[in-house]
Amino acid sequence: MKIRKFIVRSVLIILAIIVVIVLFLTAGVIISSKIITTPPFKDSTGNIIEGSIAVLEEIELGGYKQTVLIRGRNINNPILLYIHGGPGSTELPLVRHFNAALEDYYTVVLWDQRGAGKSFSPFLDAKTMTIDQFLSDTHQLVNILRKRFNKDKIYLVGHSWGSVLGLSTVYKYPELFYAYIGIGQAVNFVEGERISLQYAITRAKELNNTEAFTQLSALKDYPDMNENWFKDIFIQRKWLGEFGGVMYGKKGMQSLFFIERPPEFSFFEFIPLVLGSIHSLKVIWPQIISYGDFRKLAPKLKIPVYFVTGRHDYNVPFALTEDYYHKVQAPKKAMIWFEKSAHMANFEEPDKFNDFMIHTVLPETYTR
């Protein structure tokens, strides 16, 4: 009886601790979302710079409130809308940390898509998370920004999954954009995943990594939507990261989690970041796999297009981006190789990316 009472008491204590931790973290997330702001631009005397903008706010897109961070030293500068990857993986803290230099030349808009980061909610109806809805949200946000800042056109940057939304949008509404910049540009997800898997298998064999080779070789017909598809993705991504296919010379993306967090992103926000990534991937991945091939979907673009491509990118394989680059027709196109990068070029070589956006894209495409 004493042993039984001890076990029951121990279980109750553990449950109580878990409840307290959950409540603490939940409260932290809620409070953070209410009190976090973004610092204003100030001059050398500490006064807010006239004509600058620094706001963190919610905008309703497609009937659902979504968070955007808007920062720029001069609102007369062109607007740059950055569409993050994932699906569901906010890049707000990373862009703010690595690419803040752009804020002096653009009005930079970082958007957490529905279900991602600051726009995550456990109550979001998964039925609204369709590619068509994300495309509609993108188009709506573009027009909101154009009207708000009295601009005819803006710049659009899409990274990874965000490049699906970005390229699809500029193809359909070219008149709204000065240029499109695709980072880790997606072309065909099925073909890309097969290339990624083969790269990981080859590296496992070269490194005599029996565990990796066994697990990866067992992924038959990948990326088929079998009953284990979600587990299969994580196996493939685990070893792809381990072998430098996501970040060049590094294992996975761990180093990105150790940057100095910007003031707009608290410790508690890692929770919705993780939850949003997992949920979004589960809902959107089956749609991505059947989305199609941009070599057929968007063979001709009516605006300048730039592909920022990591020489070692096997997450969204560079070979497919290069093939699409050679085939796509556009009034101006360029493929910019980042030799020391894989899939995170703008974070792996931020100075080169920032310089490219400021000293190449703007002079070549911006007209007042």
Share of the chain above pLDDT 90, in %: 80
Q: What is the pTM of this model?
A: 0.92
Q: In the chain, where do the E strands start and end?
A: 53-61, 64-72, 79-83, 107-111, 154-159, 177-183, 305-310, 333-338
pLDDT tens profile 224-241: 888 889 999 999 999 999
Residue 5 — pLDDT band, cuts 50, 70, 90? Answer: low
pLDDT tens profile 265-289: 885 787 888 999 999 999 999 999 9
CA distance 227 to 35: 42
Classify residue 186 by its DSSP letter. Answer: -
41 sits in the region (left: phi over 0; alpha: psi -120 to 50; else beta) called beta
Q: Beta strand 64-72 with 53-61: parallel, antiparallel or unpaired?
A: antiparallel
Task: Give backbone dihedrals phi and psi of 224, rounded to 5 degrees, phi first.
Answer: -60, 150
Task: Give backbone dihedrals phi and psi of 61, rounded to 5 degrees, phi first.
Answer: -125, 120
47 sits in the region (left: phi over 0; alpha: psi -120 to 50; else beta) called beta
CA distance 313 to 345: 9
Q: Which domains does the chain have, with CATH numbers?
A: 53-189+254-365 (3.40.50.1820)
Describe the crossing of helices 318-327 and 189-206 by its angle, rounded to 10 degrees: 140
